[in-house]
Amino acid sequence: MGFHMTAAPGIDHRLVFVTGPSGAGRTTAIRVLEDIGYEGIDNIPLSLVPRLVDGAPLGRPIALGLDVRNRDFNATALIELIDQLTRDPRVSLDVLYLDCAPGTLIQRYSETRRRHPLAPNETPAQGVEREVDLLAPIRVRADHLIDTTDLTPHDLKSEISALFDPGPAGRLSVSVQSFSYKRGIPRGVDMIFDCRFLANPHWQPALRPLDGRDPAVVAFVRADPRFVEFFQKVSDLLTFLLPAHLEEGKAHLSIGFGCTGGQHRSVAMVEMVGSALAEAGWPVSKRHRELERRAAGWQSEATKVADT
């Protein structure tokens, strides 16, 4: 299976950073990307990545494996590199983060009897804990997040192929994500819709602890008299834009829906819009940035504010 997509005008380099905790499936992911036409480079020092961009276009996309085993790896340097390449008009960059439950990572290390790179003389559990903390800022910045906890290698291949293999005739993968304006707009989003004008479930005591995936919250959002027209206009716009982006050779489009806290309205919109696009035949992935942060326990007490 080859890579058939024509690069978008002005783009010289199409890169995918593949990262995540050790044992989450990074090597498998790079092999899958190689199978669909990417050139895979694993454990390249961060300082050498800009040289790839400064060189002549290779004619096909590149998948770079980046994790704590890279010689000069650190989270701050990787984030700065992501920001630098995002601003470069010659580069199209996607960050793929392979996540996994700590207990599963510990079990995988125990089964293989490998030493964790961050705890060579300690238990795997200590290394996993350190690595998860180290990678937390990068996880939040990822364009695509795949949880491999319960995935087989075949399942992981299917997930990655849906995101990055355009197929013989070309295919546009779409990611739809919710976010909180309090935490800022996500990196790399192509278009944004503001949901803060919709009725806020936060002010309903029974709905406050729930999120926009709950049917009761969805029903409340849909009951806003402005919802139907808003949803229809967004759907009509995307129906017009997605084929146009595909014709221009774009491989991925990221759509953001924001509200105040990223818990109710934007989450509900992502669920509904994502389902509608999937039913229309588009490969869609859905993310909820603030819910992921809260579930992982990375949210500080000062920012544990509901969707107000």
Task: Kindly state the average pLDDT of the residues 288-302.
Answer: 64
- The lowest-confidence range among 56-60, 115-119, 153-157, 304-308 is 304-308
Task: Kindly state the average pLDDT of the residues 81-92.
Answer: 89
Identify the pLDDT of residue 235.
Answer: 94
For all residues of the chain together, what is the average pLDDT? Answer: 84
Nearest to 21, CA basis, from 120, 109, 81, 153: 109
What distance in Å separates the CA atoms of residue 226 and residue 234, rounded to the nearest whole number? 12
Identify the pLDDT of residue 185.
Answer: 87
Place of tokens 């009509």: 236
Contact 12, 38 (CB under 8 A): no
Task: Kindly state the average pLDDT of the residues 226-232.
Answer: 97
What distance in Å separates the CA atoms of residue 238 and residue 216, rounded to the nearest whole number? 26
Instruction: Give the tokens for residue 111.
Output: 């089964």
Task: Kindly state the average pLDDT of the residues 272-300.
Answer: 80
Is residue 299 predicted with pLDDT exceeding 50? no
Render 77-96 in DSSP notation, one character per residue.
HHHHHHHHHHH-TTEEEEEE
Model confidence over 149-183: pLDDT tens digits? 888 887 788 788 878 875 544 567 888 999 999 98
Contact 101, 125 (CB under 8 A): no
Strand 62-65 versus strand 173-180 pairing type: unpaired
Is residue 120 predicted with pLDDT exceeding 80? no
Identify the pLDDT of residue 96.
Answer: 93
Identify the pLDDT of residue 255.
Answer: 95
Any idea what DSSP says for residue 186? P
What's the pTM value of the predicted model, to 2 decimals? 0.60
User: Which tops the pLDDT comparison, 2 or 281?
Assistant: 281
Task: Kindly state the average pLDDT of the residues 252-263.
Answer: 93
Is residue 213 predicted with pLDDT exceeding 90? yes
Task: Kindly state the average pLDDT of the residues 234-262.
Answer: 90
What distance in Å separates the CA atoms of residue 117 and residue 115, rounded to the nearest whole number? 6
Task: Kindly state the average pLDDT of the residues 74-99.
Answer: 89
Is residue 3 predicted with pLDDT exceeding 70? no
Task: Kindly state the average pLDDT of the residues 181-209.
Answer: 93
Residue type, 108: R
Instruction: Give the tokens for residue 225.
Output: 């008299």
Residue type, 130: R
Nearest to 92, CA basis, from 192, 7, 18, 169: 7
Identify the pLDDT of residue 5.
Answer: 40
